[in-house]
Homo-oligomer: A and B are copies of this chain.
Amino acid sequence: MSDETKYFLPEDRLPRQWYNLAADFPVPMPPHRHPATFQPLTADDLSAIFPRTLCEQELTTERWIDIPEPVREIYRLWRPSPLVRARRLEKALDTPAKIYFKNESVSPAGSHKPTTAVAQAFYNKAEGTRRLTTETGAGQWGCSLAFAGEVFGLEVEVYMVKVSYEQKPYRRALMETYGATCIPSPSTLTESGRQILARNPDTSGSLGIAISEAVEMAVQRDDTHYALGSVLNHVCIHQSLIGLEAMAQMEMAGDEPDIVIGCAGGGSNLAGIAAPYVREKINGRNVRIIGVEPASCPTLSKGRYAYDFGDTAQLTPLLMMKTLGATFIPPGSHSGGLRYHGMAPMVSHMHDLGYLEVQAYPQTACFEAAVQFARAEGILPAPESSHAIRAAINEALRCKEEGTEKTILFNLSGHGHLDMSAYMDFFSGKMSDPEFDTAQLAQALSDLPEVGV
């Protein structure tokens, strides 16, 4: 047993390959399907919006995928990210549990997102793309792609969910610092945006709508591709670095997690930290994997496992996933990054096969956990990440109750420095827990496409 607080992997141990969990599921993942024909999707179908290599990564079941050297070069600005033993939090909770967290907040944009952004920008540049469009919720992804675009010399246009655009002007400013353009969504620039605004001029927007806008703008222009920050397989594959590094670092610490926790919006940070542990679980090791979602957008807890569109305007391929329905618009919350109707097919499949437990918490309970964590460990968590912290604290308290000494690993997916207005609301008592609208859910589920496979 080591008594360090922080575990750093040397740069030459930064993995040279991403891990693809799709290779190891005992039942294959259901294929993505073409939105018009319902046929299994081909790389050609995707090539209108993504560069060839990413289309192939999206569909492959190869277990290991080489990371290009220029991508590793950029990763080294912040990766391998630290693994931290939360000793002061353990003491504050007076728990026999050991708590570790992977600190993804050290990246340029302050979250796990640059890990896929850099890879996506690289492949786009290599294949001649001049401009990338994307959507962003809380702004973490927009900042990440802005940075990655700057690194490889690509223009970046970000459609930002309107409620976040208004709540988080600093996140917008960070995108501009990295040289990107930021547009509130829905906008009048796109057909999808104009349609939504005609129906509902006061909409606060949603990730689903913003995706439609970004995809539309990419399809319309030959020199432009689209980039997605979560959900898709290639994104989850890139994020496997989180889990691969964590596994090596847990070994440095002389420890092994009994419980692995990640918050779940689109699903990529959860897929990232969990992937190598799910592989071990498939091979028989006893480890609990917990996905944590907001009670106001409980995709895994209350969604249906079905083929659905990734966006509102039905421009994306059909993905087999846990979904609240692509027409479902989650209530506004301070965790913009978790306000998504669907869940990564890789995470959904994990859940369907019984490898993943799910917990859902209201946001005030998560902010309580975030403040307790900040006071113990110093780091101010992103509202999204506070969901993972809530679950980790609850599990640690259960260990105390039961007198068991479990080892808990969670992913601190990002810092909350640009989310201080949420903390201000929390302290002033202005924060409430948005209701989950079951009538809207019923409606959205009845809107699901009838794929019939």
Residues of chain A having any CB pair with chain B under 8 Å = 4-6, 8, 10-11, 76-78, 88, 106-110, 114, 147, 150-151, 169-170, 173-174, 176-179, 371, 374-375, 377-380, 415, 417-418, 420-421, 423-424, 427
Contacts and interface: CB of A to CB of B under 8 A. Distances in A.
A175 to B, nearest CB: 11
A108 B378 contact: yes
Contacts of A371: 177
A424 B110 CA distance: 19
Contacts of A427: 173, 176-177
Given A169-B420, A417-B418, A420-B418, A380 B174 contact: yes
B174 A420 contact: yes
Contacts of A378: 77-78, 107-109, 114, 147
A178 B5 contact: no
A375 B178 contact: yes
B110 A179 contact: no
B421 A170 contact: yes
Contacts of A174: 380, 420, 423
Given A88-B77, A371-B177, A170 B420 contact: yes
A76 B420 contact: no
Nearest to A80: B6
A118 to B, nearest CB: 10
A10 B7 CA distance: 9
7 contacts: A4-B10, A5-B76, A6-B76, A173-B421, A173-B423, A178-B375, A417-B417
Contacts of A6: 11, 76
Contacts of A176: 423, 427
A150 B88 CA distance: 12
Contacts of A377: 77, 108
Contacts of A418: 417, 420
Tell which of A107, A380, A415 has the most Cβ of chain B within 10 Å: A380
B110 A417 contact: yes
Given A173-B424, A427-B176, A150 B108 contact: no
Nearest to A420: B170
A114 B378 CA distance: 10
A375 B5 contact: no
A427 to B, nearest CB: 5
A171 to B, nearest CB: 8
Contacts of A150: 375
A430 to B, nearest CB: 12
A420 B173 contact: yes
